[in-house]
Structure 1
Amino acid sequence: MINIAIPKGSLEEQTLLLFKQADLPIKKTSREYNPKVEDPRIDRVKILRPQEIPKYVEEGYFDIGISGRDWVIESDSDVIEIADMPYSKTGAGNVKIVIAVPQESDIQTSADIKPNSRVTTEYPNITKRHFENLGIPVDLHYSYGATEAKVPDLMDVVVDLTETGSTLRKNGLKIVDVMLESSTKLVANKESWENPEKRQEIEEIKTLLLSVIEARGKVLIDMNVPIAKLEDVISALPSLKRPTVSQLYGADYYAVETVVNKSDVNILIPKLKALGAEDILELDISKIVH
C-alpha cells in the first residue's frame, strides 16, 4: 500500500475533485489533514502545503505527492516526476513565476533592474539563482503572502506566481520577465518507484487520475447513419482517433461513435443531422484510458 500527499490551499479543491472523479473519493474526517480513501492500494493520505510535499516525498514520508514543478525546483527535491497533471486552481493550464515592477517604471526586462533593489518573493532560491545569473545583486526578502501588495511602498520588485497576471495588474504592476513556467506534477519517491509492488500501485493510481483529466471537456457521440450518407457524416467528425463504425444487423445502416470536444457539440450535432445522421446520442465520459 502507498501513502499520498495532496496539496492544501489553492490546488486543494481541484485535487479533491480529481480524486472523486477518478472514483477515489477522499473523505475528510474530524482531523481534516488526515482524510481517508477507501481503496486497497492506498494506506494513508495527508493534506499538506504544496511547498512541503516534494521534500517529504524525497525523504520517504510519502510514496507519491501532488505539487507544482515550481516547488520541486525551489525546494531542490530529488524526486521522480512521473506525470504532468494539467490542472490548476481554476481548472486547467500552466502557471508562471514572473518578475513584476510598478507600471510607471521604465524597467522593461529583469536585466534592467537596478543593483540592490528590494525584491519580495515566496521563491527565494529560484529568485536568487536568477539574479545571480544576471550578475545583479539584490536585497531579497521572503514573503509570507500578499506579495503584490508590498510594491512600491515596501519593495521595488515582486517575484510571484500567476496564471493570468490580472491580480498583478490590479495592483498597479506590470510583468517584465518570466523566470519559470510551472504545472502540477505527480512526483514519486525514488525507492518507492524502484519497488515493483509499490510501482504497480503508483502506476494504477496515476492511470486513473490521468484518465479523468483526459476525459474532461470531451463527450461521446453515438449515431445511426444510412449507408448512402456514411462518408459525408464521417468526413464531418473531428474525432480523437478514427471513429468506430459497425453495420447494424439486417439494415442498410451503420452505427458510428466517436469522441469529440464538448465545446464543439452544439455546432456539430445539427450539422450531423443535416448530413443524414439519425438517433444521435451525446454521452458524458468519466475516464479515457490510452
Structure 2
Amino acid sequence: MLNVVLPKGSLEKATLELFDAADLPVNRSSSVDYQATIDDPRIASVRILRPQEIPTYVAEGLFDIGITGRDWVEETGSVVESLGELKYSKNTSKPIRMVVAVAGDSAAESVTDLPNGVRVQTEYLGITKKFFEQQGVEANIRLSYGATEAKIPDIADCVVEITETGRALRAAGLKVIDTILTSYTEVVANPVAFADPEKRKAMEQVMTLLNGVLDARGKVLLKLNVDEDHRDAVLAVLPSMKSPTVSPLSGGGYAVESVIEKRTVNLVIPALREAGATDLLEMSISKIVP
C-alpha cells in the first residue's frame, strides 16, 4: 500500500533501530542495499536514499511517505504534508540546529556583525541566502561539499552548518553566533497519498507504532505491593505519567504499578522501600500508546 523512503547516512542507524523496535523491521540483503522490505501489509516497498533528496521525491509522488529533516524540506521548498516529528537524531533525542559559526576569536556575536561581502560556505544555499537577506547582510555564499567547518578562515569567513551537540564545531575552533532553525527528524507525506483515506489510515497506524517506541524510551514500569497501612505513604512518593494503577490483592493489601522516568529509579526505589513498599519490580517498556 505505502511506498516508503528512509534516510541513508547519519540518520540511517537510528531510523532502522526505531523501525525494528516498532515491530516494523527493515529487511535488506546488505548494509549497502538501497532497496528493502518490511513484512507488513501496510507497506508495499522501501527505499533507502539520502535525506537531501527525500522531500522532493515525496512531493513528486515517487513515494507516499519519507523520513527526512525539516532542514531539507525547507531547503528544497517541497510541498509535503507533515505527519509529525520523531524526536530522535543521529546520536541523541535532541533536535538538530542549523547554525551560523565563525572563528572562535572573531569579534562577531551575531550575523548582523558580519560585513557585507562576507564569505559563507554551506550545503544549504537557499536557506542561507534567505537568512542573510533577512538580516540585511550581503553575503558571498558558496556550496560546500563537506568538511565545511574546516574552511575557516582561509576559504570562508563563516559557515552555515547543522549540529546536534556542537562538539564538531567547537573541536574546529568555531563559535556559534546565530541559529537559523531547529528541528527534529520528520515524517512527510505526499499530499495526494495523504488525501487517500486508506493510505492516510495506514500512515497514521505506522506513526502510532513509531511514536509508541519513542514515548517509551527513557521510561520503565515499576510494580510493587503495599499493605493498607502504608498505601498512602507509598503513593505520595510514587511518580507516574497520569496516576498509578492500584489493584486489591486477594490476601489483603494492594498491587501498584506506574510508569516512571528511568533516570529517577535510583532515587524512587529506595524512597518507596522506606515508605513501606515490598516486592518491587522494575520492567522495561517497548511502547507506550496513550
What is the CA distance between 1:55 and its match in structure 2? 1.0
User: For residues 90 and 236 of structure 1, what CA distance do their matches in structure 2 show?
Assistant: 33
Which position in structure 1 is the counterpart of 2:252? Answer: 252
What is the CA distance between 1:91 and its match in structure 2? 2.4
The secondary structure found in structure 2 opposite 1:10 is: coil
Contact 1:6 1:67 in 2 (8 A): yes
Within-5 A mapping of 1:39-54: 39-54=40-55
User: For residues 172 and 215 of structure 1, what CA distance do their matches in structure 2 show?
Assistant: 37
Which position in structure 1 is the counterpart of 2:282? Answer: 282
The secondary structure found in structure 2 opposite 1:35 is: strand
Larger CA deviation: 26-35 vs 182-191: 26-35
User: For residues 198 and 89 of structure 2, what CA distance do their matches in structure 1 show?
Assistant: 30
The secondary structure found in structure 1 opposite 2:35 is: coil
What is the CA distance between 1:135 and its match in structure 2? 2.1
TM-score with structure 2 length normalisation?
A: 0.98
User: For residues 91 and 287 of structure 1, what CA distance do their matches in structure 2 show?
Assistant: 18
Aligned residues: 289
Where does structure 1 lack aligned partners over 5 or more consecutive residues?
none
Which position in structure 1 is the counterpart of 2:5? Answer: 5
Within-5 A mapping of 1:55-134: 55-134=56-135
Which position in structure 2 is the counterpart of 1:190? Answer: 191
Which position in structure 2 is the counterpart of 1:208? Answer: 209
Which position in structure 1 is the counterpart of 2:272? Answer: 272
> What percent identity do the matched residue pairs reach?
50
Contact 1:14 1:91 in 2 (8 A): no
What is the CA distance between 1:106 and its match in structure 2? 1.0
TM-score with structure 1 length normalisation?
A: 0.98
Runs of 4+, deviation exceeding 4 Å: none
Q: Does 1:222 align with 2:239?
A: no
User: For residues 164 and 190 of structure 1, what CA distance do their matches in structure 2 show?
Assistant: 33
For 1:261, the aligned partner's letter is E
User: For residues 32 and 51 of structure 1, what CA distance do their matches in structure 2 show?
Assistant: 18
Which position in structure 1 is the counterpart of 2:142? Answer: 141
User: For residues 273 and 4 of structure 1, what CA distance do their matches in structure 2 show?
Assistant: 48
What is the CA distance between 1:134 and its match in structure 2? 1.9
Q: CA RMSD in A?
A: 1.0
For 2:288, the aligned partner's letter is I
What is the CA distance between 1:273 and its match in structure 2? 1.2
1:246-284 residue CA offsets vs partner (Å, 9 max, x unmatched): 1112x2210100000111112211211111111111111
Contact 1:29 1:36 in 2 (8 A): no
1:182-231 residue CA offsets vs partner (Å, 9 max, x unmatched): 21111111111110110111111010000000000100011111011001
User: For residues 142 and 238 of structure 1, what CA distance do their matches in structure 2 show?
Assistant: 51
The secondary structure found in structure 2 opposite 1:242 is: coil
User: For residues 275 and 118 of structure 2, what CA distance do their matches in structure 1 show?
Assistant: 65
Which position in structure 2 is the counterpart of 1:14? Answer: 14
1:54-88 residue CA offsets vs partner (Å, 9 max, x unmatched): 11111111111111111111111111111110000
User: For residues 169 and 159 of structure 1, what CA distance do their matches in structure 2 show?
Assistant: 14
Which position in structure 2 is the counterpart of 1:29? Answer: 29
